[in-house]
Structure 1
Amino acid sequence: MRKSLFLICLILSKILLCQELENSNIKCNYLTTFLIDTTDVSSKKEEMTGLWIGKNSSVFRSDQKAIYDSLAKESTKNSMSKPVNGKIVLDFSRIPRAYFIPEVFKVGDKMEVFDKILGVYYKYENDQKINWTIVDETKTISTYKCRKAIGKYRNKNITAWYTEEVPISEGPYTFKGLPGLVIEAYDDKDYFHFTLVKLKDLKQLIAPIRGEISTSYDKFLKKRSDFQNDPSGAYFVATGKQVPKDQVERVTKIHRRNNNHLD
């Protein structure tokens, strides 16, 4: 009886989820540049990110993640069909991985941020609304006449250039709420820089990551801080496996270099 009730609830939840989700009308591609390590300019990365916008919702994420997942599935399929000496060997080392991890899912006025720690995705509601100040300054970016706006997001000062030629109150990451689409955005240290490179009509389902753990921003921040301070200890707690003693220092240095976060 309990099993039947569980299956009914599961089916109903999936039906309700499908009813809530919608297709995008347009997709905006942003060239995103960012540092992995704020103390090392050579750690700069470039990645294409996408903003899918529908009537009442949007999602912002790395395009490379979708490419990686697709290629990884194909590689797994090939490996399973061609075992080596009776064993399935999985090797994803040649597949370019995504470095830009966070995603933002927005429905109406509610925004949720998804981010990853030690292979696990966490979700928290964004309670940090940016109070934009529009500045009397304009410039043309990719044929769009843009106006300048400045605001503060948590501990970062953000500059955004938006255009009223695309009257959609959207933008990359959580940089939304202006009277037009954000064409370019960056923080005052230029640790992150988003520039629109393409806008096209596209119908595609707007859906967030599934299988995540819901939390609050403060709890997520503490967990990330604890992990960066002691990655080997966090790995042991999560998996029950210990990092070899001669590798602890190296592992700690690697993860502490990953210190550039948008929040």
Structure 2
Amino acid sequence: MKKLGIIALALFIQHISAQVNRFVYQVTMKPDAENKSEVKTENAYLDISPEKSVFYSENRIKRDSIMQKAFQGGGGRGSINRDQMENLRTSINYSVEKDKTNQKIFFKDRIGRDMYSYEEDRPLSWTISSETTKIGEYKVQKAETDFAGRKWTAWFTTDLPYQDGPYKFGGLPGLVVKVEDEKGDYSFDLMKNYKIAEFPELNQFGNTIKVKRADFVKQQQKYKSDPAAFMNQGGGQGSFSTTIRTGGRSGAGGRNQNPADMRKRMEERVKEEVKKSSNPIELQ
């Protein structure tokens, strides 16, 4: 009986240590260079285990969950509440995974119909200040870095046993509680944290194409300059014509609609989205 108790305790300790710690950040963004008064705010998760961490949108995982339930229930896309999905639209379409064992950062983002993945090749170089303050319940210390065309100020804490942060930020002797660029275009603020059982699985609709970062930037620029041409010239496996053939439904959704009209509306929508993303988090 005593041996069983020891085994149970060992399993309990193993379970606790295997849990993932979730840190919820409020992300504030001004993605439209021509309209800085339009501020977007949403939450993102930084899930941390001893082996890795993943940063991604809260809305994304909620949308994934709705779609998964719809398909598991046999209803497919037709059973999805479009208003509910619209309310969960995200400006954080990317995810960032940090491999703690090999000290590598992997970035994933969608361009057109496909997901692209690259390994970050620019190490962060921090200047740590002696300046300290308090944010919420944490004592924090100031650090600064220049990264991807922006100057960033971070406040990190050693009150928590993690050397990590939102987005690609990390490498400080503590957890980043707040980080903001000097223009105030982007900021990440820690709101709360709790434990979860395991990392959720992020749906990767479409192909995942592994590229070098420089190639990702080239593909992204091609897409931004002419999204319709990019998708129709094979810059991704899907195309506008494929989307029109497979994505619509009869009636308001579309098989009975004129494909040329649908294509035009889709092109206009994508161009408008690109225009409203003219102030990206990375400028270089």
Please tell me the TM-score bracket, short chain as reference.
0.7 to 0.9
SS of aligned partner of 1:148: strand
Amino acid aligned to 1:92 = R
Alignment of structure 1 residues 46-61 onto 2, 5 Å: 46-61=41-56
- Which of 213, 217, 220 aligns to 1:224? It is 220
Per the alignment, do residues 209 and 125 of structure 1 end up closer, same or farther by CA in structure 2, a change over 3 Å counting? farther
SS of aligned partner of 2:84: coil
Return 139-148 or 201-210, whichever deviates more. Answer: 201-210
Per the alignment, do residues 70 and 179 of structure 1 end up closer, same or farther by CA in structure 2, a change over 3 Å counting? same
Q: Do structure 1's residue 64 and structure 2's residue 54 form an aligned pair?
A: no
Q: Do structure 1's residue 92 and structure 2's residue 82 form an aligned pair?
A: yes
Give 1:126's aligned residue.
Answer: 120
Q: Do structure 1's residue 73 and structure 2's residue 68 form an aligned pair?
A: yes
SS of aligned partner of 1:41: coil
Return 25-34 or 204-213, whichever deviates more. Answer: 204-213
- Contact kept, 8 Å, 1:72 with 1:92, in 2: the verdict is no
Distance between the aligned counterparts of 1:24 and 1:259, measured in 2? 39
Give 1:43's aligned residue.
Answer: 38
* Gaps in structure 1 of 5+ consecutive residues: 1-21
Amino acid aligned to 2:129 = V
Amino acid aligned to 2:239 = T
Amino acid aligned to 1:260 = N
Distance between the aligned counterparts of 1:64 and 1:250, measured in 2? 20
CA RMSD of aligned residues (A): 2.7
Per the alignment, do residues 25 and 76 of structure 1 end up closer, same or farther by CA in structure 2, a change over 3 Å counting? closer
Distance between the aligned counterparts of 1:250 and 1:62, measured in 2? 22
- Contact kept, 8 Å, 2:153 with 2:179, in 1: the verdict is yes
- Which of 95, 108, 112 aligns to 1:103? It is 95
Per the alignment, do residues 161 and 75 of structure 1 end up closer, same or farther by CA in structure 2, a change over 3 Å counting? same
Q: CA deviation at 1:257?
A: 2.2
- Contact kept, 8 Å, 2:113 with 2:231, in 1: the verdict is no
Q: Normalised by the size of structure 2, how large is the TM-score? A: 0.74
Amino acid aligned to 1:228 = K
- Aligned residues: percent identity? 27
**Number of aligned residue pairs:** 237
